[in-house]
C-alpha cells in the first residue's frame, strides 16, 4: 500500500503533473477521493496507530498516512544504545506491512503546509484534501532560548539525541572517544518535555558505560527543574547503589546532580555551558534543548498562545483553535498525560475511535488512558511509574491512588520494558 513520490504521482494521474499552483486552496486534489478521508501527518508512535485504528474502527473511511522517513527509529530504550547494550536497529521499524494489511494509504513525503480553510495539506507530491486531519509530528526545539546555540552546527558538537537516530550514535561515539577521567555534562530543560524520565535514564546509561570503560570520569547534570521530574526517589536510589552517588557531597561518586540549574548559554568552540552564575567546561556535552510541538503544528496554527504545545479537546483530540484538525502525541497538551510513546499510543486509539464516531454522526466516547514509563538503571534493572487517566469536566486527570511507582529497582521491570517495547513496535508495524 505504500507509495513513493513517483508511484504516487503516477497513481493519481496526469493532473498531478501540474505542480505549480497559485495557492493551496485553489490547488486541485492530486489524490482522487474514494469517500470520507482522514489524512494523518507523522507515522510515529501516535500517527501510525491512529491510521491503523481508524481503519479498524471503520474500514469505509479512507486513511492516508504521510510520513517523512521510510524507517522510523523509536526513542524508547534508545538511551541503552549509549551504554552499548542495545542497537538502534533494534529500535527501527517500517510502516509498509501495517499499511498494506489495514488498507492505509501510505505516502513518504513531508507536509509543508496546511490550509485549514480549504481543508488541504501540501507536500512535494501536491495538494491533498481531507475531511479530518490528524497531526502527530512529535517535537521541534526552542533552540532560540539558548544564547550562542546555532541549530545548524551546535548539535554536531553538543548532541541532544532527543530524536533517536544519528544524534544518538554521535553521542555514543563522543563517549567512546573521551579519555578516562573526562567530564560529561548533561543539561535538562524545564518540563514539560518529551519523556519526563528520559534524561535521568540517560544519565544511568552514560554512567553504566563510564563505570565499565572509563571509571575515573564524572557526569555533571544541570537540571532546569527544581528536582528530578519523575521517579526521583528511585533514580537517586539507583545512582547511590550503582554509581556511588552522594546527595550531600557532589564530589563523591560518578554523578553530580544540580537542580534549579538552567542552561542559558553555550560556547561550542570552548566546549562550555553557562547557567548565568557558572561557566562549566565538558569533554562531552549533551544539551537537551527546551521543546515545542513539531513544525507542521506551528504552520497549521494549532499551537497555543504560548507557542509551545497544541491545545485540544481532551475527548476528541480536536484542536481548540482549528476545526477538523486533531493533534495527538507529544505535540498536544493532554492534561495530566505525559509526553510518551505509551500515552501517544493511547491518545491515538481514542482519537481514531472518536473521529469514526463523528464521521458517522455518533456521540463521542469519553476516554480512559493508561501510561507506564520504564527507565533502566543498569542493563539488568529498571524502575517504572504507571498511571490511569480519565477525562473529568474537560480535563484529563490522573485517577487518585491508581498506578504508582515500582516498589524497587528490579529485573522484572526491565523484562516488562523490553516486552512492552516489542509489543508497541509490533503494533505499529503489522
Ligand atoms: C531518549 C528518549 C527515551 C524515551 N523513552 C520512552 C519510554 O521509555 N517510554 C515511552 O513511552 N516514551 C519514551 N520516549 C518518548 C517518545 O519517544 C515520544 O513521546 C513519542 O515518540 C511521541 O510520539 P509522536 O507520535 O508524538 O512523535 P514521534 O514518535 O516522534 O513521531 C513523529 C513522526 O512525524 C514525522 N513527521 C513530523 N513532521 C512531519 C511532516 N511535516 N510531514 C511528514 N512527517 C512528519 C516524523 O518523521 C516522525 O516519524 C522517549 C523519548 C526519548 C527522547
Give the whole-angstrom CA distance, residue 275 versus residue 18. 52
Which stretches does DSSP call E strand in 57-147? 62-67, 72-73, 92-93, 105-108, 113-115, 120-123, 126-129, 132-135, 139-141
Distance 328 CA to ligand 1 centre (A): 11
Report the pLDDT value the prediction gives residue 33, as an integer from 0 to 100. 86
Cα(403) to centroid(ligand 1), Å: 24
What's the domain range around 183? 147-289
Residues 248, 342 share a domain: no
Residues 43/65, Cβ–Cβ less than 8 Å: yes
Atom of ligand 1 nearest to the CA of 162: 53
Local confidence pLDDT in tens for the 430 residues of the chain: 556 555 554 443 333 333 344 456 677 898 888 899 999 999 999 999 999 999 999 999 999 999 999 999 999 999 999 999 999 999 999 999 999 999 999 999 999 999 999 999 999 989 999 999 999 999 999 999 999 999 999 999 999 999 999 999 999 999 999 999 999 999 999 999 999 999 999 999 999 999 999 999 999 999 999 999 999 999 999 999 999 999 999 899 999 999 999 999 999 999 999 999 999 999 999 999 999 999 999 999 999 998 999 999 999 999 999 999 999 999 999 999 999 999 999 999 999 999 999 999 999 999 999 999 999 999 999 999 999 999 999 999 999 999 999 999 999 999 999 999 999 999 999 9
| Tally of helices (H runs) and strands (E runs) in the chain | 11, 26
Q: How far is the CA of 19 from the centre of ligand 1 (A)?
A: 31
User: How far away, in angstroms, is 178 Cα from ligand 1 center?
Assistant: 29
**Is 394 part of any domain?**
no
Angle between the N-to-C axes of helices 232-243 and 198-213, in degrees from 0 to 180, rounded to the nearest 10: 0
Give the total number of structural domains in the chain: 2
CATH number at residue 277: 3.50.50.60
Supply 131's cell numbers. Answer: 475531511
Residue 154, domain member (yes or no): yes
Q: What is the pTM (predicted TM-score) of this model?
A: 0.95
Ligand 1, atom 35: closest residue by C-alpha: 42
Indicate if 11 and 94 belong to the same structural domain. yes
Write down the pLDDT at residue 5. 53
Query: Residues with Cβ within 6 A of ligand 1?
Result: 41-47, 66-69, 72, 75-76, 78-79, 110-111, 136-138, 162, 194-195, 198, 294, 296, 329-331, 339-342, 344, 373-374
Spacing, Cα 46 to ligand 1 middle (Å): 8
Say whether both 123 and 152 belong to one domain.
no
Looking at the structure, tell me whether residues 242 and 166 fall in a common domain.
Answer: yes
378 within domain boundaries: no
Ligand 1 center–CA 345 separation, angstroms: 11
Nearest CA to ligand 1 atom 23: 45
Exposure string of 201-220, with b = 16+ CB inside 10 Å and e = fewer, is bbbbbbbbbbbeebeebbbb
Q: Of the residues 5, 112, 341, 344, which should be mutated to test ligand 1's pocket, given the most ligand atoms within 8 Å of the CB?
A: 341
* pLDDT given for residue 27 in this prediction: 74
91 and 120 in a common domain = yes
Amino acid at each position: 500500500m505504500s507509495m513513493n513520490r513517483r508511484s504516487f504521482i503516477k497513481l493519481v494521474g496526469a493532473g498531478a503533473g501540474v505542480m505549480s499552483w497559485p495557492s493551496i486552496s485553489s490547488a486541485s486534489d492530486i489524490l482522487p477521493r474514494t469517500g470520507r478521508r482522514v489524512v494523518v501527518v507523522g507515522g510515529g508512535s501516535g500517527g501510525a496507530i491512529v491510521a491503523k485504528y481508524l481503519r479498524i474502527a471503520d474500514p469505509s473511511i479512507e486513511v492516508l498516512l504521510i510520513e517523512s522517513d521510510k524507517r522510523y527509529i523509536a526513542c524508547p530504550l534508545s538511551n541503552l544504545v549509549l551504554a552499548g547494550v542495545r542497537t538502534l536497529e533494534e529500535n527501527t521499524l517500517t510502516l509498509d506491512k501495517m499499511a498494506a494489511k489495514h488498507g492505509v494509504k501510505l505516502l513518504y513525503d513531508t507536509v509543508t503546509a496546511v490550509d485549514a480553510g480549504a481543508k488541504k495539506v501540501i507536500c512535494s507530491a501536491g495538494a491533498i484534501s481531507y475531511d479530518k486531519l490528524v497531526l502527530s509530528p512529535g517535537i521541534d526545539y526552542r533552540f532560540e532560548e539558548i544564547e550562542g546555540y546555532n541549530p545548524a552546527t551546535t548539535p554536531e558538537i553538543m548532541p541532544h539525541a532527543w530524536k533517536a537516530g544519528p544524534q544518538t550514535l554521535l553521542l555514543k561515539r563522543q563517549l567512546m572517544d573521551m579519555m578516562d577521567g573526562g567530564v560529561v555534562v548533561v543539561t535538562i530543560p524545564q518540563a514539560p518535555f518529551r519523556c519526563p524520565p528520559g534524561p535521568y535514564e540517560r544519565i544511568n546509561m552514560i554512567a553504566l558505560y563510564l563505570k565499565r570503560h572509563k571509571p575515573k570520569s564524572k557526569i555533571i547534570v544541570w537540571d532546569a527543574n527544581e528536582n528530578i521530574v519523575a521517579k526521583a526517589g528511585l533514580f537517586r536510589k539507583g545512582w547511590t547503589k550503582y554509581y556511588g552517588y552522594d546527595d550531600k557531597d557532589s564530589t563523591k561518586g560518578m554523578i553530580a546532580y544540580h537542580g534549579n540549574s538552567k542552561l542559558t548559554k553555550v560556547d561550542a568552540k570552548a566546549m562550555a555551558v553557562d547557567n548565568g552564575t557558572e561557566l562549566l567546561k565538558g569533554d562531552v556535552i549533551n544539551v537537551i534543548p527546551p521543546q515545542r510541538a513539531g513544525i507542521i503544528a506551528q504552520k497549521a496554527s494549532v499551537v497555543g498562545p504560548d507557542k509551545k504545545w497544541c491545545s485540544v479537546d481532551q475527548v476528541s483530540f480536536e484542536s481548540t483553535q482549528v476545526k477538523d484538525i486533531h493533534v495527538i502525541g507529544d505535540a498536544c497538551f493532554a492534561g495530566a498525560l505525559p509526553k510518551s510513546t505509551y500515552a501517544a499510543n493511547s491518545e491515538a486509539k481514542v482519537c481514531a475511535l472518536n473521529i469514526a464516531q463523528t464521521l458517522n454522526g455518533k456521540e463521542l466516547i469519553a476516554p480512559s488512558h493508561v501510561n507506564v514509563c520504564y527507565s533502566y538503571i543498569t542493563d539488568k534493572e529498571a524502575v517504572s511509574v504507571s498511571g490511569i487517566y480519565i477525562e473529568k469536566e474537560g480535563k484529563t486527570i490522573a485517577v487518585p491512588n491508581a498506578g504508582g511507582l515500582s516498589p524497587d529497582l528490579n529485573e522484572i521491570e526491565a523484562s516488562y520494558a523490553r516486552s512492552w517495547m516489542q509489543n508497541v513496535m509490533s503494533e505499529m508495524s503489522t
